[in-house]
Amino acid sequence: MKKLIHPASSLDVSTSTEDDEAPVYMRGADGVVLNSMIQNVVEWTLRTPHVYPFNLEIHKQKYKYEIVVYQKSIFELIYEVSFLVGRNIDISSECFVEINPAALVVLEGTKEWLTAKHKKVNEWVMHLIFEMSYNEFRIQSDDVQLEIKKAVNDLSLFLHKNLMQAGGNDLLHSFKRNSMECYKQLMLVGEQSWTQHDSILLIRLDWGEPYRVPDMRAKFASQQDYEARFKQVSAIRDKMLKILRKMFKDDLVFFAWKIECAPIKGLHIHWLIGLNGAKHRDRINVPRMIAEKWDEKLGADGAYTRNPSIRQKHEEATLRVINYSDPLLWRIMGGYVDYLTKVDYLTRFRAPGKMRSFGCTKLKEITASKKGPKRSKKMPKLDMLAVRRPLKELSDEMGWKEYKA
């Protein structure tokens, strides 16, 4: 089986000694983009823990809308490969898969799965899905759909194992190692910040393009188109940071940003901001003021900034002024930092070389002790691994039924 660790023209993995996230992207020789169908299947099947196209166990789907892209792509993959197999056409010569070894792993794996005898999948199901499109799948009866879903899930797991054996495991390990480094960096920045300030106003803001008809936010004509739009978003992020620094100067205690690419929302930016709580205490209007300033300067094309603070009830708010002695300090900070530093597969695979998708305040060299009277209370001890948990868990523990992250 061909390894994913391949010359730079096929799979380029760039590393950096900086504390920012290292860009990792997949592209073909001379910048040729992978077929979007193969790109989607690779990005979804490489994920760990494995994500099935169809969730048969629970009604609530984690990726309620995004998963449809995965489903359509894997049916398109089945149709294209079975079409070639049925006509005895060689996959590697027909599909130009030499542009990327991951594409060859997916195509050869699909061919092997379609032509092999399976213990888990009934023979009549295999005959049925041969050259089946997504629309043909949708018109089947519920019982038949269930059997097809089981078969497609089996294919996705088979491809996942093949990709892992071909070097995907090392690739994912590098993603997660980098994610942990970013998490630790930002948590140490937070610890240093609350050591120097008695209270900090925690703010989260999201920037993105508005929904339009037709919705083209996550549609990219080519790898070059993706890179061009990524660079545009990166330039906007740089302007947002300059505006933020100009607005608050020394009161800007820390910041972190992350550029993500979602299957529906496309490219967007997450922000986590800490302001001096002694001077800024309004958890609603201060974030609103930042959002309005950003939109005023940068929102000419319809892009806008969303303020999650307004969705939280006052008594359940986590985006608020947090004192250094607050027992929930690290649970709240850990939850938001975990969300911000999670692995974003779409961005990691496609981001242009040397273009950062994550950045945050760097640790400062503290030479003098904190000014002011000695603290009467102790700051909770930081256990980074223990507090790296989703905020949903905290809301469930606290009984915040209407909690919004």
pLDDT at 9 over 50: no
Q: pLDDT value at position 284?
A: 94
Longest dimension (CA), the chain: 82
- pLDDT given for residue 102 in this prediction: 78
Residues 226 and 142 in one domain: no
pLDDT above 90: residue 255? yes
Judgement on whether residues 236 and 326 belong to the same structural domain of the protein? yes
Q: Please check whether residue 13 lies inside any domain of the structure.
A: no
Asked if 161 and 196 sit in the same domain, the reply is: no
Q: What pLDDT, on the 0 to 100 scale, is given for residue 402?
A: 56
Average pLDDT on 289-307 reads 90
- What's the pLDDT at 250? 95
What are the two backbone dihedrals, phi and then psi, of residue 252, each rounded to the nearest 5 degrees? -80, 100
Q: Is residue 4 part of a domain?
A: no
User: What integer pLDDT is reported at residue 262 of this predicted model?
Assistant: 84
29-43 pLDDT per residue, tens = 333 444 678 888 988
Residue 74 β-bridge partners: none
DSSP string, 224-276: HHHHHHHHHHHHHHHHHHHHHHHHHGGGEEEEEEEEEEETTTEEEEEEEEEEE
How far is CA 110 from each of CA 41, 93, 290, 349, 358, rounded to the nearest angstrom? 11, 16, 49, 21, 35
Structure tokens at 331: 């649970």
Lowest mean pLDDT of 122-126, 204-208, 349-353, 356-360, name the range: 349-353
Residue 21, pLDDT > 60, answer: no
Note whether residue 5 is domain-resident.
Answer: no
Residues 164 and 216 in one domain: no
Domain that holds residue 42: 30-169
What is the length of the chain? 405
The residue out of 152, 169, 186 marking a domain boundary is: 169
- The pLDDT-based confidence of 134 (bands split at 50, 70, 90) is very high
Higher-confidence position of 372 and 137: 137
Task: Compute the distance between CA of residue 188 and CA of residue 178 in angstroms, rounded to an integer.
Answer: 15
Residue 191 sits in the same domain as residue 149: no
Query: Residue 296 above 90 pLDDT?
Result: yes
Per-residue pLDDT reduced to its tens digit, 52-104: 999 877 655 666 777 888 999 999 999 989 988 888 877 665 554 444 677 78
pLDDT > 90 in the chain, percent: 50
Q: Is residue 59 part of a domain?
A: yes
Residue after which a domain boundary falls, among 147, 169, 191? 169
**What confidence score (pLDDT) does residue 175 get?**
86
pTM: 0.80
Is the same domain home to 219 and 274?
yes
Do 35 and 126 lie in one domain? The reply is yes
Name the nearest CA neighbour of 280 among 307, 311, 248: 248
Q: Are residues 133 and 186 in the same domain?
A: no
> Is residue 299 very low, low, confident or very high in pLDDT (cuts 50, 70, 90)?
confident
Helix (H) or strand (E) holding 10: none
Q: Which residues fall within 8 angstroms of residue 317, CB to CB, at 6 or more apart?
A: 283, 309
Whole-number pLDDT of residue 368 = 67
In this structure, of 88-102, 191-205, 234-248, the range with the lowest mean pLDDT score is 88-102
**Residues 165 and 179 placed together within one structural domain of the fold:** no
Question: Based on the structure, what is the number of domains in the chain?
Answer: 2
Tell how far CA 228 is from the center of its chain. 19
Q: How far is CA 9 from the centre of its chain?
A: 25
* Residue 17 falls inside a structural domain: no
| C-alpha–C-alpha distance, residues 385 and 307, integer Å | 28
Last residue of a domain, one of 154, 169, 184: 169
Q: Is residue 21 one of the residues assigned to a domain?
A: no
pLDDT tens figures, 332-364? 999 999 999 998 877 777 777 677 899 999 998
Which range is most confident: 110-124, 335-349, 377-391?
377-391
* Domain co-membership, 118 together with 197: no
Residue 88 lies in a domain: yes
* 124 & 189 share domain: no
Residues 355 and 243 in one domain: yes
In a domain, 232, yes or no: yes
